[in-house]
Every structure is written in C-alpha cells, then in structure tokens.
Amino acid sequence: MSSSPPSAARPPRLSKPAQQKTPAPVLQNPFRSRRLWITLGLLLLINIFVTNVLFAPAQPTTVTLPYDVFKQQVAAGNVISVTTTGDAITGVTKTPVKESPTSTVSATHFSTQRPSFADDSLEPLLEQHGVTINAKPENPPPPLWLTLLLSFGPTLLIVVAVLYFIRRAASAGGAGGLLGAFGQSRARLYDPERPGTTFADVAGIDEVRQELEELVDFLREPQKYERLGGMVPKGVLLIGPPGTGKTLLARAVAGEAKVPFFSQSASEFVEAIVGVGASRVRDLFTKARQAAPAIIFLDELDAVGRSRSSGFRIGGNDEQEQTLNQILTEMDGFEPGKGVIVLAATNRADVLDQALLRPGRFDRRVTLQPPDRRGRAAILKIHTAKVPLGPDVDLDAIAGATPGLVGADLRNLANEAALGAARKGESAVTSADFFEAIDRILLGTERHLMLTPSDRERVAYHESGHALLGLLIPGADPVRKVTIIPHGGALGVTVQSPVDDRFNYGEDYVRARIVGALGGRAAEQLVYNTLTTGAASDLQQVTMIAHEMVVRWGMSPKIGPLAFRENGSGDGLGLTRPYSEATAREVDTEVKRIADECFADAVRLLTEHREQLEALVQALLKEDSLGEEQILAVTGLKAAASDTNRSG
C-alpha cells in the first residue's frame, strides 16, 4: 500500500487576565433533574390513590349463593329486591343468608349467576313473591366527575409541575418561557485553573501550534500588542482532515490561555423546534461575555455553517439558517462580542457559508495537514511516553513505515502495539509488536480461510504481479511486504510505501501507481488467460487515479491543461457537472486510454520477467509472506531496486 497523491472591523480590546470576572454558572436543564421526575411520579401515584381508593364507594359484605338456593330464598319470601346485569344477579334479603349450611359468614346482600340453560320461570316467580326487579346495562358509563378526573387529572398535574420547574429555572437566571428552558446553551466550561491538555501534548504540527501560541500570548499580555496597534483575531478556523489534531489543539489552547473556555459541538445547537438553535447561540455568547476574556470553541462548524446559497437544500433549513445568522450576528453584528474569541474546527471548509469566512468573523484560517516523518516520530514519542518500550524500538523507523497516518492513527497504533504485547505476556513493547500493529491497521485483521490449492496459487500470482511491477517500474514506491494470508476483505496484500514523504507527484509516479495496481490482473491474464473478481479494489483505484489525471491534474493531451471539478457548487450532492456532454465523452475516452496503456505496460513487463514472476510465486506458496529483503533476494532485482529507490 502506498500513500495516495492531493478591511476588517477593529476587534474589541480584551481586559487583562487579572481583571477576569467570575464565569456565570451554567444552568442545568430542568428536564434532566431527578427531582422533577420523582415529583411527577409521586403526583401520579397520589392521583391513582385518590380516584381508586378515597373516592371509591364502600362495599357491603356480600355472600355468593348457588342459583338453586337463590330460587329457594325467593320461594320462601326472604328476597326483597334483585338487580340484574346480564346473567349476573345481586340482591337484598330480609334476613341474613349463608353461602352453605357449613359456612360461618352470613349477610343480607348476595350475588348469584343465572345459568345459560336455565328456563324463563324466574321472572314469574319473582313477581309472585313481590320482589322488586332492577336491571342495569352490562357496561354502564362512569360518572362525569370521574371521567373528567381520570382524563385531565394526570395531564394537569404534569403541566403544573413542568411550569413550576421552568419558572424556578427562569427565576434563577435562565431565559424565561418554555423556549428558554430548551434554549439554554449546552457548552462545557473548562476550569482554567486545572488544564487537562497543554501545548506540550501537541506535536507534528509546529507551525499551527505557533499561530495559536500567539493567540494565547495575546490573551495573557494584551498590552504587548495593543501598544503597537495590534488586534487579536475575532475568530480562528481550524481546517484539516479527521484525526489531524483540531480538537486537541483547541483543548491545548484552553489549558494554556488560563481564561474561561466554552466548548460545544455545532450540531448541539440545532433542534426540531425552530428558534432553539439561535437561542442557544445567544445564551452561549452571553455567558462568554460575562466571563470575558474568554474563548468559545465550536467543533464541526459545518453542521450549522453550510452555505445558504446552495442550489439544493434538504428540510430543516429555517432552524439551521436562523442558527447560522445568530452566529454571524454575535461574531460581528450591531453588538459585537467584547472580549470573546471564537475557535472553530471543520474538515469541510469548502461547504461553509462565505459570510463566516470574511475578515471580521474568522480572520485567521489555520490548515492542518497529515504530519511528515519527523512529526510522526514526535507524535509517537508523546503517545508512548507511558508505555514501556523494548531496547529495539526505533520510533523514527516506525514513523517511516507509516506514511499518511495522522495523530489519531498513531495513537491507535501505540495502543494496538501495547495490547498486542500484553496478549503475549511481554514486559515491554517491542519493535515487532509495533510492526504487527501496523499490519493490523493497514491490512486488517488476519483471517484463517481454508483456500483451495488452485485459489491459493492464483492469489500468489496476483500479489506477485503487484510486487514485481513495484520493483521494475521507475518511480514506484518500494515494496515492503507481500503476503497471501487473507487480511480484512482481501485474500492477499502487497504493501508499498515511499522512502520519504511526498508532497508533489509527477506524471511518471502517477502512471506507476496505475501500472502497479493493474499488476495482479495482468499476471492472472498472462498465466491463466481468464479474469476473476479479485481485482475489484485494484480497478477502483485505477479508475479514480486515471480520472483525476484527466479532470483535475491536466495530464491528458487531448483535454489539455484544464481542471474540471465536479460538485462545483461545493454542496457535496453531485448534482452539477461543469462541462458538456461532449467533454464528458472525451474524458471517458481519455480515462480508458490511460488505463489501457498502463495495462499493456504491465503485461509487457511481466512477460519480459516471467522467470522472476514464477520464482516469486513459488517463494510465496512456500512462505506465505515475504519481507522486502526476501523479495529482492528471490527475484534477483537488488540492483534495480536500488535504482528505483533513487528515482522515486
């Protein structure tokens, strides 16, 4: 694997740190209060008790009589009245009756059940003995007062409790009204007296660190710059790929500045209720002004800062635009934020609204790039400070084997190496542990698949084609390892990495990447004269590089020195293409021409060096994996490889 080629308003003066105000307390959301939910639960239990116990009518003692005993009591003239509800019969007798002769319980109220097979002689019998007959519907409606109580009682209790807690929050200093309870900022305030991260924890991005150190120095000694008319930037935008250290830098600023530091993700502003995001922005800047001088950090700014002029927008625009407008107003509106500096981070600066990027808002833009070899070594030194290292560990050599990795990747690498050493029961992390971790990260976890001998041989030819072309093509990255042990989603892997970090790529190097990627397909066709699905990822890489050569890097004589950028509006939706259908056909033709020429070169080189290809295949089938020195020894291309390294 080889790495792929890529007049402002005057800001307000800040008060001295010695004159800092005590930060306003961050109010808790009342809906997260345990006391609120306990109170609501108790109110509901009280409501159930009142309606079902206190207001329930008292029930007299009742005995259950067999139906034949009931008829006997009627015939004896002991029954005064009966009430029927369907086949259920209740009634009152003149003298107490018992359920059975042996029962000790007697009462004047009784109940019985009329059997479904009983005849219709009961009514004449009751009339004959002057028994009062009452009838009730089987499902009588409850009383109106009970219906109202059960329907609206719990709701009224909840509403009263919610309003009570909202009023308490408002009286304690929060925003009034229902929106105020939702519209409070969720920013986290870091204690300036107990920094968790400092600039000592940042490495590999020294030039970026220097720019932010200047910002911290201004907060500590504003008079040093103000006497010469210097003005602190109102906002600093950190731009860079994921994992390059944007949030780490912000935490380091918080630790070094010794001023209140409010941190919040931009996505936390937006809610389903329109207006909540703007309210939270106002609340955040209000708290920051009360604690000035202070720093606000907005992570993932593109969540609310996307361009409002995008040609195609998805729902929820009103809330997002209101939130963005409020941020713009707070940073540089009629009431500019005094003593408040805004730090923001994003990896999608191309989609941000231009109003955010103009001077007076984010005056300074700091771009973070993946670290070079020296930077990676410094980052590894920080992440291994508490890791016991073996005497054979060379962090500079490990940094050289990890081109393209960023700070987050290197932290993961150190952790994986430590975990691997712990699994083996070692007392220290060795160099072998680090390189095993590199393989695990770059190649994926090793899989134990039972390949048939024919499949294993085909994979060996495929990977040998990649590896051999990496040795033969001038300008190609050196081959570090080749294996036919399945890793991740691949049945085999060839690892290529440059000797030094590359920042500019010539056409010979780019074409070498394509030829090398096609080496597996070329070897299969040369040996078997058939095609398989094993080259799917290789072909994706070939298509991407060839397309970039034509539409972005101007490496096609037919298209010329032009750069066509799809998604030209920056909206990331792929709905625009800044060239005609005729040009699109020319682009497709040129992409295919480049791929065909590189495939022909791959087949030609493998044909000319068929003997080395067979030797490499046999060594792979025997050993499963070969390192760089073993590959050179097997192919006998040691001198050629040295030339390749120099030309790369």
In a domain, 17, yes or no: no
* Highest mean pLDDT of the ranges 53-57, 145-149, 206-210, 376-380: 376-380
> Do 259 and 129 reside in the same domain of the chain?
no
Is residue 224 classed exposed, middle or buried when 0-12, 13-18 and 19+ CB atoms within 10 A define those classes?
exposed
Q: Is 524 within 8 Å of 544 (Cβ atoms)?
A: no
User: Cα dihedral sign for 456, 462, 465, 471?
Assistant: negative
Q: What is the CATH number of the domain that holds 565?
A: 1.20.58.760
Do 235 and 321 fall into the same domain?
A: yes
**pLDDT at position 29, please?**
53
pLDDT tens digits, one per residue of 405-423: 888 888 898 898 999 889 8
The domain tally of the chain equals: 5
453, pLDDT greater than 70: yes
Residue 413 shares a structural domain with residue 485? no
Higher pLDDT, 188 or 330: 330
Q: Are residue 534 and residue 598 in the same domain, yes or no?
A: yes
pLDDT bin (cut points 50, 70, 90) of residue 514 is very high
Rounded to a whole number of angstroms, the distance between the first and last alpha carbons of the chain is: 15
> Residue 646: its pLDDT value, please?
29
Instruction: Choose among 443, 458, 461, 474: nearest CA to 519.
Output: 461
Q: Which of 367, 390, 420 is the last residue of a domain?
A: 367
Indicate which residues carry an active-site annotation. 463
Any domain includes 13: no
Does the pLDDT at position 642 exceed 50?
no
Residues 6+ away with beta carbon under 8 Å from 291: 20, 21, 22, 23, 24, 259, 260
Identify whether residues 535 and 428 lie together within a single domain: no
604 falls within a domain: yes
Residue 542: which pLDDT band, with cuts at 50, 70 and 90?
A: very high
Mean pLDDT over 45-62 rounds to: 71
CATH of the domain at 389: 1.10.8.60
Considering the domain boundaries, does residue 25 fall inside one?
A: no
C-beta separation of 174 from 186 below 8 A: no
Q: Which residues pair with 294 in a beta bridge?
A: 340
- The secondary structure of residue 138, as a DSSP letter, is S
Quick one: 310 and 242 in the same domain?
yes
Q: In what order do the strands lie in the sheet with 493-496?
A: 493-496, 479-483, 625-627
Mean pLDDT score across all residues of the chain: 77
Q: Which amino acid is at 318?
A: D
Mean per-residue pLDDT, 383-387:
87
Domain C-terminal end among 302, 337, 367: 367
Least confident of 32-46, 340-354, 562-576, 614-628: 562-576
pLDDT value of position 273: 58
pLDDT confidence of residue 440: 83
Q: Strand pairing partners for 190? A: 261
Top-confidence range, 30-34, 221-225, 430-434: 430-434
Question: 102 and 160, same structural domain?
Answer: no
Is residue 562 helix, strand or coil? coil
Domain that holds residue 426: 373-443
Q: How far apart are CA 127 and CA 133, in angstroms?
A: 8
Q: 21 in a domain, yes or no?
A: no
164 and 48 in a common domain:
yes
Task: Give the CATH number, domain containing residue 105.
Answer: 3.30.720.210
323 and 196, same structural domain?
A: yes
Which of 546, 538, 152, 207 is closest to 368 using CA atoms? 207
Q: Where residue 173 falls among pLDDT bands split at 50, 70, 90? A: very low
Q: What is the mean pLDDT of residues 26-38?
A: 61
pLDDT at 540: 92
Residue % of the chain over a pLDDT of 90: 7
Shared domain check, 622 and 491? yes
Helix (H) or strand (E) holding 295: strand 294-299
Of the candidate ranges 58-72, 179-193, 368-382, 564-578, the one whose mean pLDDT is the lowest: 564-578
pLDDT tens per residue, range 525-541: 999 888 888 888 889 99
Residues 6+ apart with CB under 8 A from 361: 234, 235, 328, 331, 332, 355
pLDDT for the residue 545:
93
Grouping H, G, I as helix, E, B as strand and the rest as coil, residue 79 is strand
Taking a C-beta distance cutoff of 8 angstroms, is the pair 421, 457 a contact? no
User: With left for phi above 0 and alpha for psi between -120 and 50, is residue 497 left, alpha or beta?
Assistant: beta
Strand partners, 517: none
Residue ranges of the alpha helices (H) in 82-205?
122-128, 144-171, 177-182
- Cα–Cα dist 342/144, whole Å: 60
**Sheet harboring 188-190: ordered strands across?**
188-190, 261-265, 294-299, 340-346, 235-239, 364-367
Residue 97 lies in a domain: yes
pLDDT at 382 over 90: no
Report residue 511 as tokens: 């074409």
Phi first, then psi, for residue 49 (nearest 5°) are -65, -45
The mean per-residue pLDDT over the stretch 191-218 comes to 75
**Joined tokens for residue 221:** 């000694």
| pLDDT above 60 (res 636) | yes
Query: What does the pLDDT read at residue 76?
Result: 85
| Domain membership flag for residue 85 | yes
Residue 275: count of CB within 10 angstroms of its CB: 16
Measured CA to CA in angstroms, residue 295 lies from 63, 122, 200, 544, 574 at distances of 79, 90, 20, 42, 37
- String of b and e for 277-310 (b: at least 16 CB within 10 Å)? bbbbbbbbbebbbebbbbbbbbbbbbbbbbbeeb
Q: Note whether 549 and 427 are same-domain residues.
A: no
Torsion of CA 116, 121, 127, 132, to 10 degrees: -10
| Residue 404 Cα to chain centre, angstroms | 22
Identify the domain boundary among 302, 335, 367.
367
Give the closest residue to 305 by CA, choosing from 237, 264, 352: 352
Above 90 in pLDDT, residue 630?
no
Residue 483 lies in a domain: yes
Tell me, rounded to whole angstroms, the distance of Cα 45 from its chain centroid. 40
CA-to-CA distance for 153 and 51, rounded, in angstroms? 10
Checking if the pLDDT of 305 tops 50, the result is: yes
Q: Alpha helices, DSSP H only, in 196-316?
A: 206-220, 222-226, 246-257, 276-290
In sign, the C-alpha dihedral spanning 517, 520, 523, 525 is negative
541 shares a domain with 424: no
Query: Would you say the pTM of this structure is higher than 0.95?
Result: no
